[in-house]
Amino acid sequence: MSRYRKCGKPTCHCAREGDPGHGPKWVLVRSVDGGRRNWSIPEAALAQTREQVAEYRRFRQLLRELIDVSERLCETRLAERRAEPAKRGRRTPRSARRWA
């Protein structure tokens, strides 16, 4: 995200009406522990940062897809179990258990 800011000096160009201010300054904004964290990104690292953010978004999408597939697999397995008849095994007589 690019940001422009005004320095607050009355004689600076940024104090004029319609001037966007100083910048652009590149900032990476992310939610961490319920709050927002801002990281300043130098112009030289801008391309690399964009690639890393794109890769992070791709990873998140793949993770969502994995979770969806896993949930469907679990639901299918549970449905198959419910459809199976209950197995009734023969119990070993008490006397046979005692001598085994």
The whole-number pLDDT of residue 96 equals: 57
Q: What is the pLDDT of residues 39-72, one digit of tens each?
A: 889 989 999 999 999 999 999 999 999 999 999 9
The whole-number pLDDT of residue 83 equals: 82
The whole-number pLDDT of residue 94 equals: 64
Helix (H) or strand (E) holding 77: helix 46-83
pLDDT at 85 over 80: no
Question: CA-CA distance, 10 to 19, in Å (whole number)?
Answer: 13
Q: What is the pLDDT of residues 6-48, one digit of tens each?
A: 888 989 998 888 888 888 889 898 888 999 998 889 989 999 9
φ, ψ of residue 22 to 5 degrees: the values are -85, 140
Q: Give the number of other CB atoms < 10 A from CB of residue 47.
A: 9
Question: CA-CA distance, 56 to 79, in Å (whole number)?
Answer: 35
Residue among 80, 92, 90, 1 at smallest CA distance from 38 = 1
